[in-house]
């Protein structure tokens, strides 16, 4: 998942695509506190890496406040410039504006996702509506819009290079979609909606993190954990000790509906308890209940879309995506749902048969699926997924797998930088060099779960690339791997390995960015295109030459046996009915919420019923296969920028699957192939239409048959 745009939190803003660059001279300070604030001084660190070792929670709000004030002064000067508008004195000036705000925003928002605390949460609550208002002051400035509109009207006569021409078009579109053409009364209502949404989306995110920590399952005895690997039992005991529950065990929850421990735990009652705790999050009353928050967000988004002249929020969002229309997305998902559900039902039959063979007659519940899936896998392929973990030691996977694939494809070299400051002891930093020795940027790896980190996996950019500003990328990847006890190795599941490759695909997209304007940097592409390069990078996790290089036993150093490797590859389409159905259920749920008109949004008490009805209407309401995310903890769509866009993963996978075929046809893991992908697509950011870039890389339109074959749905 990609989170490079802080717009995911506070709405599309001019400063979002900017970079954190050093200030030429120390800025004037007005108090002793200001004198100690690193944001107010030049940054001497390489690549403008945030000075994590000198940052204090008290530094953010003053920097936000001064940054907003400075940018508004700059914007007023641009809007009231006596000279006729040009790209240079209007759009380039806007791209250069708000440098202080860039610095604090591109530090604060990635950091609050990775390692928040009460003080930072309070700052986020305080600043979110103010940032929304700040954005409105820019986009709803009539004098500024007049200049942007004039450039748009004249764009064909300005003799612009393609990137500058696109910049004119994108700025104009953004102003219009922000309400620049509305009446004054409508703009006032838009301002109120945006401020309220910013607060609600912040509340939603904080509730999800609060409840995922509060809902951790406490287990009294070691016997109840039968089947769970010893290292995970030890981690559960350590988690209990941290909560003052000595002698007990705590199983922390991830933000997904399903939980990793369900595949191993033999105690069915405990599996059911974990599942019910996971699925109930956000709907049980109390301080973390998100039902009213969801209803309010959905209603306000629908109202905003109507103000802008769109029938629904989904129609508003999809207009600027590669899909373009709700109908296009609906048709794609509708074509995939029936075969996925049919496969899931067949898989459920196999699970029942497997349980019966073991002497247990039961109706498969959501808490049984992963457990019996592993038994079917073992019987069908003579393969137990837990056999893989000793071969997937985290550091080896990263350096000899992820980094190795990147070096083979793109000629990259990685040098760890323990001398640079980090925001948490678990974070590591590498400097990345191009094949010719040129320094490209910094990569931060933050892979362990902790209570201060939101769930899931994602990429953020602390500093995006820009030719205009002279900045090079600083990028972080986040996972949520359970940290082992001291001295023990970190052994990954195969899903975690794939996720590591996926997130590094986002890193490559940001690292190779070679654009002039901050607006187009790195992963600043349509939401339904942004997952495509990262999903392509997953292919190298199972590419034989790469897998053999990193899949070595953490104790003996022996490579994974070819027979086990063959079994890994043979199971790639296994359980895809379940995997596709849980994903489609979440995607269709997202679209159902965002196709509502304001008067159709249910009350808080109707949220759960609406979800059930939406899933049933879409044909994906399988009791044993809950959506990957249920409404009340669906962070993607309520707080991280994927509203009406969760379909993006499978939309992008059509491109991904077809691209994998291209790599195979052209020789696989070669520098020539990597350089072609980099030059035609990864380096272009959002500087051209996404599908134009795809066709330039692939030489043809995508073929959905590659995806159907991959998922066993053909």
What is the Cα–Cα distance from 563 to 383, expressed in whole angstroms? 10
Task: Outline where 358-428 has alpha helix (H).
Answer: 369-381, 394-397, 403-410
Instruction: Please answer whether residues 194 and 291 qualify as being in contact, where contact means their C-beta atoms are separated by less than 8 angstroms.
Output: no
Q: State the first-to-last Cα distance of the chain, in angstroms, to the nearest integer.
A: 27
Selecting among 303, 347, 503, 611, the annotated active-site residue is: 503
3-state secondary structure of 412: coil
Structure tokens at 522: 């790195």
144's tokens: 């500024």
Token duo for residue 460:
């953020």
* 123 Cβ contact partners less than 8 Å away, ≥ 6 residues apart: 57, 60, 61, 64, 108
Q: How far apart are CA 472 and CA 225, in angstroms?
A: 48
Q: Is 563 a catalytic site residue? A: no
Whole-number Å distance between alpha carbons of 312 and 165? 30
CB 99 within 8 A of CB 40: no
In sequence order, the β-bridge partners of residue 458 are: 478
Distance CA 402, CA 546 (A): 8
Contact 502, 508 (CB under 8 A): no
Report strand pairing: 428-433 vs 458-463: unpaired
Q: Does residue 251 sit in helix, strand or coil?
A: strand
Q: How many Å apart are CA 577 and CA 584, to the nearest integer? A: 10
- Asked if 49 contacts 442 with a C-beta cutoff of 8 angstroms, the reply is yes
CA 706 to chain centroid, in Å, comes to 24
Distance CA 432, CA 428 (A): 13
Q: Are 481 and 496 in contact (CB under 8 A)?
A: yes
> Would you call 19 helix, strand, or coil by DSSP?
coil
Q: Of 109, 142, 200, nearest to 458 (Cα)? A: 109
Cα 539–712–535 angle (5° rounding)?
A: 25
Residue pair 478/114 in contact (Cβ under 8 Å)? The answer is yes
Active-site residue set:
503
């Amino acid at each position: 998942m990609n989170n490079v745009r802080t717009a995911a939190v506070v709405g599309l803003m001019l400063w979002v695509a900017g970079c954190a660059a050093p200030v030429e001279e120390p800025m004037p300070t007005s108090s002793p506190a200001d004198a100690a604030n690193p944001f107010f001084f030049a940054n001497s660190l390489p690549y403008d890496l945030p000075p994590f070792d000198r940052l204090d929670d008290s530094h953010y709000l003053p920097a936000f406040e001064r940054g907003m004030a400075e940018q508004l002064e700059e914007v007023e000067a641009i809007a009231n410039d006596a000279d006729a508008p040009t790209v240079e004195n209007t759009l380039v000036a806007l791209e250069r504006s708000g440098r202080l705000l860039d610095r604090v925003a591109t530090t604060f928002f990635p950091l609050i996702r990775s390692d928040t605390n009460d003080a930072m949460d309070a700052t986020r609550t305080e600043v979110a509506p103010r940032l929304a208002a700040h954005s409105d002051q820019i986009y709803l400035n009539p004098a500024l819009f007049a200049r942007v509109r004039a450039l748009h009207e004249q764009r064909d006569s300005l003799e612009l290079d393609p990137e500058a021409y696109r910049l004119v078009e994108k700025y104009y579109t953004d102003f219009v979609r922000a309400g620049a053409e509305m009446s004054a009364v409508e703009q006032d209502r838009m301002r109120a909606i945006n401020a309220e949404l910013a607060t609600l989306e912040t509340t939603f995110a904080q509730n999800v993190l609060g409840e995922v920590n509060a809902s951790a399952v406490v287990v009294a005895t070691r016997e109840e954990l039968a089947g769970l690997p010893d290292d995970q039992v030890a981690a559960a005991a350590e988690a209990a000790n941290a909560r003052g529950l000595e002698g007990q065990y705590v199983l922390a929850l991830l933000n997904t509906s399903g939980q990793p421990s369900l595949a191993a735990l033999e105690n069915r009652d405990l599996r059911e308890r974990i599942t019910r705790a996971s699925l109930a999050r956000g709907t049980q009353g109390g301080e973390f209940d998100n039902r009213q928050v969801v209803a309010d967000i959905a209603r306000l988004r629908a109202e905003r879309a109507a103000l802008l002249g769109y029938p629904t929020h989904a129609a508003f969002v999809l207009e600027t995506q590669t899909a373009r229309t709700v109908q296009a997305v609906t048709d794609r998902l509708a074509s995939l749902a029936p075969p996925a559900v049919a496969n899931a039902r067949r898989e459920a039959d196999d699970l029942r048969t497997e349980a019966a063979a073991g002497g247990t007659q039961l109706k498969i519940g959501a808490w049984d699926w992963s457990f019996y899936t592993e038994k079917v896998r073992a019987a069908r392929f003579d393969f137990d997924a837990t056999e893989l973990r000793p071969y997937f030691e985290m550091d080896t996977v990263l350096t000899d797998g992820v980094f190795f694939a990147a070096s083979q494809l793109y000629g990259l070299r990685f040098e760890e930088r323990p001398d640079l400051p980090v925001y948490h002891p678990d974070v590591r930093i590498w400097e990345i060099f191009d094949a010719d020795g040129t320094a490209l940027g910094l990569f931060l790896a933050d892979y362990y779960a902790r209570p201060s980190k939101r769930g899931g996996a994602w990429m953020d950019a602390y500093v995006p690339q820009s030719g205009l500003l002279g900045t090079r990328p600083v990028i972080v990847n986040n996972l949520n791997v359970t940290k082992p006890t001291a001295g023990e190795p970190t052994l990954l599941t195969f899903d975690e390995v794939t996720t590591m490759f996926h997130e590094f695909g986002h890193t490559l997209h940001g690292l190779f960015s070679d654009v002039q304007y901050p607006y187009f940097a790195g992963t600043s592409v349509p939401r339904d295109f942004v997952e495509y390069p990262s999903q392509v990078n997953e292919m190298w996790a199972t590419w034989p030459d790469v897998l053999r290089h990193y899949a070595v036993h953490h104790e003996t150093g022996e490579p994974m046996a070819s027979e086990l490797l063959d079994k890994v590859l043979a199971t790639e389409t296994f359980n895809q009915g379940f995997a596709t159905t849980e994903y489609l259920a979440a995607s269709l749920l997202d679209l159902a919420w965002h196709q509502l008109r304001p008067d159709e949004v249910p009350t808080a008490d109707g949220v759960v019923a609406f979800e059930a009805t939406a899933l049933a209407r879409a044909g994906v309401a399988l009791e044993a296969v809950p959506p990957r995310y249920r409404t009340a903890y669906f962070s993607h769509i309520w707080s991280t920028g994927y509203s009406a866009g969760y379909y993006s993963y499978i939309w992008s996978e059509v491109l991904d699957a077809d691209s994998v075929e291209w790599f195979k046809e052209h020789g696989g893991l070669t520098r020539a192939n990597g350089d072609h992908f980099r030059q035609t697509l990864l380096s272009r950011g959002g500087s051209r239409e996404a599908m134009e870039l795809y066709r330039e890389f692939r030489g043809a339109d995508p073929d959905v048959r590659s995806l159907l074959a991959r998922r066993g749905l053909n």
